[in-house]
Structure 1
Amino acid sequence: MAFAASLLPPPIAKRTTIVPCPCPSRVSFKITRSQLLSQRNLSLNPRCQLVLPNEKIDSTALTASPLQLLKSSSSANRYTKEKSSIVVIGLNVHTAPVKIREKLAISEELWPQAISELCTMNHIEEAAVLSTCNRMEVYVVALSQNRGVKEVTEWMSKISGIPVSDLCEHRFVLYNKDVTQHLFEVAAGLNSLVLGEGQILSQVKQVVKVGQGVAGFDRKMSGLFKHAITVGKRVRSETNIASGSVSVSAAAVELASRKLTESSYATARVLVVGAGKMGKLVIKHLVAKGCKNMVVLNKTKERVAAIREELKNVEIIYKPLSEMLACAAEADIVFTCTSSETPLFLKEHVEMLPTVQSELGTRLFIDISVPRNVEQCVSDLETAVVYNVDDLKEVVAANKEDRLQKAMEAQPIILEEVNKFEAWKDSLETVPTIKRLKDNSERIRDAELNKCLSKIGDDISEKSKKAIYDLSVGIVKKMLRGPMEHLRCNDTRTLDETLENMRALNRMFDLGTDESVLEQKFRAKVEQARN
C-alpha cells in the first residue's frame, strides 16, 4: 500500500524551492458556494520553523527564544491578534474527477495518523479527516487562516503527489460559519452525488468514533461533527429528503440495468467483488431488480453468509478473492466495491478473459470504489466497458429536480442548527476568562484566609477554621455569580453582549486572557517544532 509505505521517514533532502499556494482570500475560484451546493502515501511532516518574512536579524536574535522573536517581530501584532478559525479544505465529486480524488483517499484506519500529522504543523490546532468515495475533506482549527490553508494544501500535495497548483484548481476552501453549514449539509445528504443518500451520515459518525481519544480531535472538532450527526438525523426525520432517494450502490445497479439492452438481471451473470456496506447494498438492489443468483467475492465467508441469511430465495455463491479472475471469466457484469488501494483488475488480466457470450457483447465493469478497483486503461479494450463512480451522474440527473425540491425543506433546519452551533462555538471564547477570573479570586481568597488565621493564632478549633473557610468560599461564590452569569449566553442576552462583558472583565481585572491563551498556543507549537 502506497499510503502505508510512505509512513517510513523520507530521505533527508535540502529543499530549495517551495511552491506557494495562492492566498484563498484573494483567489477567484472556478466555483461559487452556490454551485458547490448544487452540485497516499502519507509521509511524516518535516519539522518546520516559524519564519516571519521581511525580518531583519540582529545580534539579540541569536540568543532570543522563538516566542520572543515572534512577539518582537513587525508582523507579530497582526499575527497574535488573529483569532483561530475553523477551515475546511477539500475536493469532492462536484469539484474534482475521480482520478484526482483517488490519489487523496485515506483509509479509515489511517485517519488518526493523518490527524496527528496535521496537528504537528505550526498553525493547526485541531483536525479531522472525512474521506469517502465522493469526497476528501480536511477540517482544521487554524491559528491563522491563510497559513493554515497553505500548510494543509502542501500536506495534501505531499500525500497524493498532486502538485499544489493542480490541487488549488480543484479544491474548495470555506471558513467558520460556511464550514459549519457545509458539514451540516454533507451530513444531511444535501451535498452528495445522490441527493439524500444515507450512507454519508454513518461516515460522519465514523469520524467521531475514530477521533475519540486522538490528540488533535478536540473540543471544537468533536463538537462540530457531533452536532452534524444531530443535524443529519433531524433532517431525515423531519423532511422527505430520504423518501425515494437512492444510494451510490443503487445508482450503480440502475446504470448497469440501462446498459443491458435486450438482456436483464434475471438472465445476466453477475459478479460482486466486496461484501462491505456498499457491496451489501449492491446485492440488495440487484435482488430488487430481479437478479436471483450471483457470485460474491470477499475476504471472509461470514459476511456473505450473513447477507445470504437476510435475503431469502436468492442464490448467492461465495468465492474467495483468490478466484477473482476465474469468476470474472464467467460473468457478464462485474461490480467492484472494495477498499483496496490498488487496482484489482489490470488491463492484462481483463485482456485474457474470454469474450462474453450474452447479448451484451462486452463485459461491463461497474467500479464504485475510490481508489478505483479497475485500472483506467481497461476501458481501452474492445471486450470491456468500464464505468466509475463519476459516471453515475447519468442516473442521478433523472430525478434531480424532485430531490432538489425536497432539499429545500431541509434548509430552515440547517440554518437554525448552524446558528446554534456558532453560538456555542463563540461562547467558548469566554471560557479562558471564566477560568482566569476564578483562579484570581481563589488566590485572593486563599491569601486572605491564611492572613486571617495567622492573626488569630493557634487558639482556634478545627470547627472554627472550617467555618471561616466556608465563609470565605461562600463570599467569593456569591461575588462571582453575577459576572459568571453575564459571561454565558442565554435567551435574554445576545452573543455580542456576552463577548462585550468578557472584554470588560478582562479590562477591569487585568486578566489579559486573549493574549495569554494565544501565547500559550504559540509556545506549544514552537516547543513542538524544536523537539
Structure 2
Amino acid sequence: MAASTMTGFTAFVMGSKPNSFLLARRSGGPVGFRFIKTQQRGQRGSATRRCGTRCEAATDVAVKDASASRASSLTALEQFKAAGSDRYMKERSSIAVIGLSVHTAPVEMREKLAIPEAQWSRAVGELCNLNHIEEAAVLSTCNRMEIYVVALSWHRGIREVMEWMSKTSGIPVSELRDHLFMLRDSDATRHLFEVAAGLDSLVLGEGQILAQVKQVVKIGQASGGLGKNIDRLFKDAISTGKKVRTETSISSGAVSVSSAAVELALMKLPESHALSARMLLIGAGKMGKLVIKHLAAKGCKRVVVVNRSSENVDAIREELKDIEIIYRPLTEILSSAAEADVVFTSTASETPLFLKEQVESLPPASQSAGGLRLFIDISVPRNVGSCVSDVESARLYNVDDLKEVVEANKEDRLRKAMEAQAIIIQELRSFDAWRDSLETVPTIKKLRSYAERIKSAELEKCIQKIDENALTKKSRRAIEDLASGVVNKLLHGPLQHLRCDGSDSRTLDETLANMYALNRMFGLDTVKAILEQKIKAKVEKSQN
C-alpha cells in the first residue's frame, strides 16, 4: 500500500479531525463502517462557518446543529472517497461469539454475567449501539452466557463487547479474559449449531437448550433487535438442533440439568431411604417443573413446592398425576425448608434465598436422610449462598457439581456426538453458502437495473421510428420480448459467475473477483454506494 494512502486513511481512522465520523476497517470480508462522533465545542463553530452566511444568521440552536450535522455528513463522505477506501472493500463483517460456559468458567463467574431473559432486549440494544457492532443476540442460561454479534471490525468489536461485559458485570477485563472464549465466522456458527443440538451442554443432547435458543429468536423478533445475519443464524441453528434430535439417538437416555439434579440428590441420600426423603422445590418455572417430573419418574410420591403464586403449581399438578404436589407461598420458605431433607432451588432471584445464618437455624434433617440437609441449587445467579457450605448439618451442590452425574456412559455419548457432527457440517455449509451469496446481491440488482435502463431507452427509440398505425399490440409485445430476451441472454453468463451458493466449485474469492470486475466494467460502483448509504444512515441516526 502506498505510504501516502495509508497515512491519509490512518489519520482519518484515528480521528485527527475533531467531530468527524471515524471509519473503522472491518475484517473477514467487504469492508463496512461504524462511526464515532467525538463532540468538541470548538468544532461545532467551524462546521457552522462552513455552512455559509445563512447559517451564521440563524439564531435557532437546532438549526445550527442540523447544519453542522449536514456538514459532518458531507465531510465524512468526501474524506471517505479521498482516502483510497476501495482498498478496504474486499472484506466483510465477521460473525462472532464471545462468552463463557460451564466448560470455561465457574458458577461464581457465570452468575455475575448472567442476563435475565426480561433484559435480553435491552442488552441487545446496548450492544448494537457499540461503535463496531451491527447486530447482536444474547443467550444466557444457567450453563452459559454468550453474546453473538456481527462485528464490522473483529478486533475492535470484540474489545468493545468485552468492555461492555466488564461494565455490566463489574468484573475487570483482565479477569474476564481468563474465562472467555471467542470464535469467529464458521467457528462461531458451528458453535451455535452444536449448542442448539445439545452437544455443548453439560448433559449431552439435553432438550431445554433448544427451547432457549428459540426464545432468543422470539424475543428478538418482538423487539425488532435481530438483524438479517443473526436472525438467519439462530433460525438455522434451531433447524439443525431439531434435525440432530430427529435423525440421531442423541436424545434417547439424555437427561436435562433438572434430571441430573434429581440424580445427584438420590446419589447423595442413603440408598435405602432415598425415595422416602422429604423433597422441597423452590420455584415452579420450567426447570422446577422438570425437577418434579423426574422425581415422579424415579418413584418419589410427594413434593412440597414454594412459589410466588399457586397458578404454575396448579398447572403442574393437573399435568402430573403420579406425584402429590403441595403448594406453599413464598412467605413460608423457611418453615418449609425446616421440614425438608432435600431442597431444590430454581428461581430467577438475583439475591440468595438461603444464607448461612438461616440454614444454621433450621432443625436437623431426618435420620433417614443421614441427618444432613441437601441443597441442590440449579439457578444462575445462585439461590443459595456459598456460605451455606460451612454449615455442618448441610451439604450444598450447584450446577457445576452435576458433572459427577453426567460422566456415566461417556463413550456412548461421544458416538452419538459424532453422528450429530455430520449433520452439523452439512448445515454449516448451507449457512456459509447463504452468507456468501449476500456479497453479490447488490451487484446483481444494480447490473440488472443498468441493463433494464438501456433496454427501455432503446425500445423507446425503436418505437418512435415505427408508424404507430402499423404497430399492433402483438407487434409491440414481440419487440419488447425480443429486447428482454437479448438482455437476459447477455446477462446470463455474468450473473452465473456472481453465484456463490454452494451449487458449484467456485470459491467466494473467485466470485468476489468477478463482482469487482463487473463493477469496474459497467461503472456500477456498488460497494462504495452501499458504504456511502451506511454513512448517511449513521449520520441521520446520530442526529436523532
TM-score scaled by length of structure 2: 0.80
Query: How far does the alpha carbon of each residue in 1:382-416 deviate from its partner, in whole angstroms, 9 at most, with x for none?
Result: 23221110111111223323312221222222212
Contact 1:271 1:334 in 2 (8 A): yes
Match of 2:36 among 42, 49, 68: 49
Q: How do 1:468-483 and structure 2 match up within 5 A?
A: 476-483=487-494
Give SS of 2:92's match: coil
1:106 is matched with: 115
Matched with 2:139 is 130
Question: 1:524 is aligned with what amino acid?
Answer: A
**Distance in 1 (alpha carbons) for counterparts of 2:269 and 2:382:** 23
User: C-alpha offsets along residues 485-528 of structure 1, whole Å, 9 cap, x if unaligned?
Assistant: 44333634534454443233222212222333234334434543
**Structure 1 pair 347–521 and aligned structure 2 pair: CA distance change class (3 A):** farther
* CA-CA distance at 1:343 after TM superposition: 2.0
Q: Matches of 1:524 and 1:506 in 2, distance apart? A: 23
Q: 1:376 aligned to 2:386?
A: yes
**Matched pairs, number:** 479
Between 1:514-523 and 1:381-390, the stretch displaced more is 514-523
Q: Mean alpha-carbon deviation: is it higher for 281-290 or for 353-362?
A: 353-362
Q: What corresponds to 2:237 in structure 1?
A: 228
CA separation of 1:461/1:157 partners in 2, compared to 1, >3 Å: closer, same or farther?
farther
CA contact (8 A) 1:114 1:129 kept: yes
Q: Tell me what 2:495 maps to.
A: 484
Tell me if 1:253 matches 2:266: no
Superposed, 1:391-430 pairs within 5 Å as: 391-430=401-440
Does structure 1 retain, via aligned residues, the 8 Å contact 2:433–2:502? no
Deviation at 1:139, TM superposition (A): 0.7
Q: How far apart are 1:75 and its partner, in Å?
A: 9.7
Instruction: Report Cα offsets for 1:415-445 as digits up to 9, x if no partner.
Output: 1221121111111111111122133234434
* Aligned residue number for residue 18 of structure 1: none
Q: What SS does the aligned partner of 1:372 have?
A: coil
Equivalent residues of 2:296, 2:322 under 8 A apart: no
Q: 2:357 aligns with which of 345, 348, 351?
A: 348
Deviation (angstroms), 1:459: 8.6
> CA 1:400 to 1:295, structure 2 compared with 1: closer, same or farther past 3 Å?
same
Secondary structure of 1:331 counterpart: coil
Amino acid at match of 1:396: V
Letter in 1 for 2:399: V
Q: Does 1:184 align with 2:193?
A: yes
**Of 182, 201, 204, which residue of structure 1 is paired with 2:213?**
204
Give the AA of the match of 1:437.
L
Larger RCO (CA within 8 A; separation ≥ 6): 1
Are 2:520 and 1:507 aligned?
A: yes
Report the aligned-residue RMSD. 3.0
Q: Deviations over 1:104-134 (max 9, x none)?
A: 1112222222222111122111111111111
Letter in 1 for 2:506: T
* Residues 116, 215 of structure 1: 8 Å contact kept: no
Within 1, Cα distance between the matches of 2:338 and 2:82?
68
Worse-superposed segment, 366-375 or 476-485 = 476-485
- The alpha-carbon deviation at position 167 of structure 1 amounts to 1.4
- Separation of aligned partners in 2, 1:105 and 1:462: 72
CA positional deviation for 1:226: 1.0
SS in 1 for 2:99: strand
Q: Tell me what 2:534 maps to.
A: 521
Report matched runs for 1:21-420 at 5 Å.
Answer: 49=36, 65=73, 67-68=76-77, 71=80, 81-212=90-221, 214-261=223-270, 264-358=273-367, 359-420=369-430
CA displacement at 1:283 relative to structure 2 = 0.8
Residue 330 (structure 1) shift: 1.0
Deviation at 1:348, TM superposition (A): 3.4
What CA distance in whole angstroms lies between the structure 1 residues aligned with 2:466 and 2:131?
54
Asked whether the equivalents of residues 261 and 376 of structure 2 are also in contact (C-alpha less than 8 Å), the reply is yes
Percent identity reads 63
Which residue type is aligned with residue 503 of structure 1? Answer: Y
Q: Deviations over 1:62-102 (max 9, x none)?
A: 97656248637979676655421111111111111111111
Code of the aligned partner of 1:516: A
**Do the aligned partners of residues 466 and 330 (structure 1) sit closer, same or farther apart at CA in structure 2, a change above 3 Å counting?**
farther
1:243 CA drift (Å): 1.8
TM-score for both structures, normalised by structure 1:
0.81
Could you report, residue by residue, the CA deviation over 1:241-297 in whole angstroms, capped at 9, with x for unpaired residues? 222211111111111112112553332111011222211111111112221011012
Q: CA deviation at 1:368?
A: 0.3
Separation in structure 2 between the aligned mates of residue 226 and residue 292 of structure 1, nearest angstrom: 40
Distance 1:77 1:299 in 2: 60
SS of residue in 1 equivalent to 2:273: coil
One-letter code aligned to 1:119: C
Q: Deviations over 1:185-224 (max 9, x none)?
A: 1111111111121111111111112111544412211111
Unpaired segments ≥5 residues, structure 2: 1-26, 28-33, 39-45, 51-67
SS in 2 for 1:212: helix
